[in-house]
Structure 1
Amino acid sequence: MAGASPLVQLFAALLAVAATATTTAALTDDVLALVVFKTGVADPLGRLAAWTEDDDRPCSWPGVGCDARTGRVTSLSLSAASLSSRLPRALLRLDALLSLSLPGNNLSGPVLPNLLAALPRLRSLDLSSNRLAAPIPAELFAQCRSIRTLSLAHNELSGYIPPAVASCSSLVFLNLSSNRLAGPIPDGLWSLPSLRSLDLSGNELSGSVPGGFPRSSSLRAVDLSRNLLAGEIPAEVGEAALLKSLDFGHNLFTGGLPESLRGLSGLRFLGVGGNALAGELPAWIGDMWALERLDLSGNRFSGVIPDSIAKCKNLVEADLGWNALTGELPWWVFGLALQRVSVAGNKLYGLVKVPVNAAPALRVLDLSSNTFSGGIPPQITTFAGLQYLNLSSNSFSGQLPSGIGGMRLLEVVDVSANHLNGSVPPEIGGAVALRVLRMGRNSLTGHIPSQIGNCSSLVAFDLSHNNITGSIPVTIGNLASLQVVDLSKNKLNGTLPMELSNLPSLHIFDVSHNFLSGDVPDSRFFDNIPETFLSDNSGLCSSRKNNSCNSVMPKPIVLNPNSSSNPLSQATPTAPSNMHHKKIILSVSTLIAIAGGATIIMGVIIISVLNRRARAATSRSAPDTAISDDYLSQSLENDTSSGKLVMFGKGSPEFSADGHALLNKDCELGRGGFGAVYKTMLRDGESVAIKKLTVSSLVKSKDDFERQVKLLSKARHHNVVTLRGFYWTSSLQLLIYDYLPGGNLHKHLHECTEENLLSWMERFDIIIGVARGLKYLHQRGVIHYNLKSTNVLLDGNGEPRLGDYGLANLLPMLDRYVLSSKIQSALGYMAPEFACKTVKITEKCDVYGFGVLLLEVLMGRRPVEYLEDDVVVLCDLVRSALEEGRLEDCMDPRLCGEFPMEEALPIIKLGLVCTSQVPSNRPDMVEVVNILELVRNPQDCPEIELV
Structure 2
Amino acid sequence: MAAFAPALLLLLLAAAAATATTTTALTDDVLALVVFKTGVADPLGRLARWTEDDDRPCSWPGVGCDARAGRVTSLSLPAASLSGRLPRALLRLDALLSLSLPRNNLSGPVLPGLLASLPRLRSLDLASNRLAATVPADLFAQCRDIRTISLAHNELSGYIPPAVASCSSLLSLNLSSNRLAGPIPDGIWSLPSLRSLDLSGNSLSGSVPGGFPRSSSLRALDLSRNLFAGEIPADVGEAALLKSLDLGRNFFTGGLPDSLRRLTALRFLGAGSNALAGEVPAWIGEMWSLERLDLSGNRFAGVIPDDIAKCKNLLEADLSRNALTGELPWWVFGLPLQRVSVAGNKLDGWVKVPGDAALALHVLDLSSNAFSGGIPPQITAFAGLQFLNLSSNSISGQLPAGIGGMRLLEVLDVSANTLTGSVPPEIGGAVALRVLRMGDNSLTGRIPAQIGSCSSLVALDLSHNDITGPIPSTLGNLTSLQAVDLSQNKLNGTLPVELSNLPSLHIFDVSHNLLSGNLPNSRFFDNIPDYFLSDNSGLCSSRKNNSCGAVMPKPIVLNPNSSSNPLSQSTPSSPSSKHHKKIILSVSTLIAIAGGAAIAIGVITVTVLNRRVRAAASHPKPAIALSDDYLSQSPENDASSGKLVMFGKGSPEFSTGGHALLNKDCELGRGGFGAVYKTVLRDGQPVAIKKLTVSSLVKSKDDFERQVKVLSKMRHHNIVTLRGFYWTSSLQLLIYDYLPGGNLHKHLHECTEENTLSWMERFDIIIGVARGLMHLHQHGVVHYNLKSSNVLLDSNGEPRVGDYGLASLLPMLDRYVLSSKIQSALGYMAPEFACKTVKITEKCDVYGFGVLALEILTGRRPVEYLEDDVVVLCDLVRSALEEGRLEDCMDPRLCGEFAMEEAIPIIKLGLVCTSQVPSNRPDMGEVLSILDVVRSPQDSPGDEMV
TM-score interval (norm. to shorter): 0.7 to 0.9
Q: CA deviation at 1:785?
A: 5.2
* Deviations, residues 325-364 of structure 1 (Å, cap 9, x unaligned): 1111111001100000001111111111112252321100
**Distance in structure 2 (CA, Å) of the matches to 1:71 and 1:890:** 53
Q: Which amino acid aligns with 1:264?
A: L
What RMSD over aligned residues (CA atoms) do the two structures have, in Å?
5.0
Aligned to 1:345: 344
Distance 2:247 2:669 in 1: 46
Superposed displacement of residue 38, structure 1: 1.1
Distance in 1 of aligned mates of 2:311 and 2:783: 42
Q: Which residue of 1 aligns with 2:768?
A: 766
- Unaligned segments of structure 2, at least 5 residues: 555-567, 569-604, 619-629
Shift of 1:552: 9.3
* Counterparts of residues 117-266 of structure 1 (less than 5 Å): 117-266=116-265
Aligned equivalent of 2:355:
356
Q: Do 1:788 and 1:849's aligned partners in 2 also have CA atoms closer than 8 Å? A: no
Matched, 1:367 2:362: no
Q: Which residue of 2 aligns with 1:312?
A: 311
Deviations 1:649-696 (A, max 9, x none): x999x9868998765657755422442135799999999976444467
Once the two structures are superposed, residues 452-490 of structure 1 have per-residue CA deviations (whole angstroms, 9 ceiling, x without a partner) of 121111111111111222222222111111111111111
CA contact (8 A) 1:444 1:467 kept: yes
Residue deviations 1:113-132 (CA, integer Å, cap 9, x gap)? 21111111111111111111
CA distance in 1, matches of 2:768, 2:413: 21
Instruction: Give the aligned partner of residue 744 of structure 2.
Output: 746
Is 1:515 equivalent to 2:525 in the alignment? no
Q: In the superposition, relative to structure 1, how do residues 914 and 143 fare at CA in structure 2: closer, same or farther (>3 Å)? A: farther
Give the 3-state SS of the residue equivalent to 1:420 in structure 2: coil
Structure 2 letter corresponding to 1:45: L
Tell me if structure 2 keeps the 8 A contact 1:532–1:796: no
Letter in 2 for 1:165: V
Checking the alignment, whether the CA contact within 8 Å between 2:613 and 2:641 is kept in structure 1 is: no
1:759-838 aligned within 5 A: 762-763=764-765, 765-769=767-771, 772=774, 784=784, 786-791=786-791, 800-801=800-801, 803-804=803-804, 807=807, 810=813, 812=815, 826=825
The corresponding residue for 1:404 is 403
- Please give the alpha-carbon distance, in whole angstroms, between the structure 1 residues aligned to 2:942 and 2:420: 34
| Structure 1 residues 472 and 373: alpha-carbon distance in aligned structure 2, compared to 1, 3 A threshold | same
Pair 1:734–1:602, CA change in 2 (3 A): closer
Contiguous gaps of at least 5 residues in structure 1: 556-568, 570-596, 611-630
- 2 CA distance for matches of 1:16 and 1:770? 80
Return the alpha-carbon distance in structure 1 between the equivalents of residues 840 and 658 of structure 2: 35
CA contact (8 A) 1:740 1:795 kept: no
Q: SS of the residue aligned with 1:49? A: coil
Q: % of aligned pairs identical?
A: 70
Q: SS in structure 2 opposite 1:141?
A: coil
1:626 is matched with none
SS of corresponding position for 1:135: coil
Give the CA deviation at 1:307: 0.6
Counterpart-to-counterpart distance in 2, 1:888 and 1:70: 52
Deviation at 1:747, TM superposition (A): 8.0
Aligned to 1:9: 8
Q: Residues 785 and 845 of structure 1 are in contact (CA less than 8 Å); yes or no, is this contact kept in structure 2?
A: no
Residues 733-759 of structure 1 deviation map (CA, whole Å, 9 limit, x = unaligned)? 747486586866628966899999976
C-alpha separation in 2, matches of 1:177 and 1:421 = 50
The residue type paired with residue 240 of structure 1 is A
CA 1:538–1:651 in structure 2 vs 1: closer, same or farther (change >3 Å)? closer
Q: Deviations over 1:169-195 (max 9, x none)?
A: 111111111111112122111111111
Distance 1:542 1:417, change over 3 A: same
Do structure 1's residue 21 and structure 2's residue 23 form an aligned pair?
A: no
CA contact (8 A) 1:113 1:139 kept: yes
The 10-residue stretch of structure 1 (924-933 or 678-687) with the greater mean CA deviation from structure 2 = 678-687
> Is the CA contact 2:195–2:219 (under 8 Å) kept in the aligned structure 1?
yes
Question: What residue number does 2:98 align with?
Answer: 99
Q: Is the 8 A contact 2:688 2:737 kept in 1?
A: yes
The answer (yes or no) to whether the contact 2:721–2:737 under 8 Å persists in 1 is no
The aligned counterpart of 2:541 is 542
| Deviation by residue 1:1-30 (Cα, 9 ceiling, x = unmatched) | x99843333233222222211111111111
Structure 2 Cα separation of the partners of residues 425 and 551 of structure 1:
35
- The answer to whether the 8 Å contact 1:713/1:723 transfers is no
Q: Which residue of 1 aligns with 2:482?
A: 483
Residue 228 of structure 2 aligns to which amino acid in structure 1?
Answer: L
CA contact (8 A) 2:745 2:788 kept: no
| Partner in structure 2 of residue 561 of structure 1 | none
Structure 2: distance between partners of 1:424 and 1:26: 78
Shift of the alpha carbon at 1:701?
9.5
| 1:682–1:849 Cα change, 3 Å | same
Distance 1:894 1:332, change over 3 A: farther
Counterpart residue type for residue 387 of structure 2: Y
Structure 2 CA distance, aligned partners of 1:942 and 1:862? 34
- Corresponding position of 1:617: none
Name the CA distance, whole Å, in 1 between partners of 2:796 and 2:512: 12
Deviation of residue 860 (structure 1)?
7.9
Report the Cα offset of residue 706 of structure 1.
7.9
Tell me the distance in 2 between the aligned counterparts of 1:810 and 1:415. 36
TM-score by length of 1: 0.79
User: In the aligned structure 2, how far is the partner of 1:125 from the partner of 1:358?
Assistant: 49
Residue 803 of structure 1: how far off its partner (Å): 3.1
- Tell me, in whole angstroms, the C-alpha distance in 2 between the residues paired with 1:488 and 1:796: 20
Q: Which moved more, 1:545-554 or 1:18-27?
A: 545-554
Summarize the Cα distance change of 1:771–1:424 in structure 2 as closer, same or farther, 3 Å threshold: closer
In structure 2, distance between residues paired with 1:885 and 1:757: 16
CA distance 1:939–1:236, change in 2 (3 Å): farther
Please, what TM-score do these two structures have when normalized by structure 2? 0.79
- Residue deviations 1:821-854, cap 9 Å, x none? 8866x48767999999xx9999988666434432
Q: Which amino acid aligns with 2:12?
A: A
Residue in 1 that maps onto 2:48: 49
Q: Which moves more between the two structures, 933-942 or 763-772?
A: 933-942
- Give 1:422 deviation, angstroms: 1.4
- Matches of 1:859 and 1:240, distance apart in 2: 43
Structure 1: distance between partners of 2:479 and 2:631? 48
CA distance in 2, matches of 1:455, 1:368: 24
Per-residue CA deviation, residues 382-429 of structure 1 (Å, 9 max, x unaligned), is: 111111111111111121111111111111111111111111111111
- Aligned equivalent of 1:531: 530
Distance change >3 Å, CA 314–CA 835, structure 1 → 2:
closer
What is the CA distance between 1:445 and its match in structure 2?
Answer: 1.5
Give the Å deviation of 1:492.
1.5
Structure-2 residue corresponding to 1:85: 84
Deviates more, 1:330-339 or 1:768-777: 768-777
Equivalent pair of 2:858/2:889 in contact (CA under 8 Å): no
Matched with 2:572 is none
Classify the secondary structure of the residue corresponding to 2:436.
strand
Q: CA deviation at 1:509?
A: 1.0
Residues 759 and 894 in structure 2, CA contact (< 8 A), matched pair in contact too: no
1:66 Cα deviation (Å)? 1.0
What's the offset of the Cα at 1:248?
0.8
What is the SS of the residue equivalent to 1:318?
Answer: strand
Q: 1:769 to 1:755 in 2, by over 3 A?
A: closer
Which residue number corresponds to residue 378 of structure 2? 379
Mapped partners of 1:423, 1:701: distance in 2 = 43
Q: Which AA in structure 1 matches 2:380?
A: T
- Matches of 2:377 and 2:905, distance apart in 1: 42
Report matched runs for 1:457-472 at 5 Å.
457-472=456-471
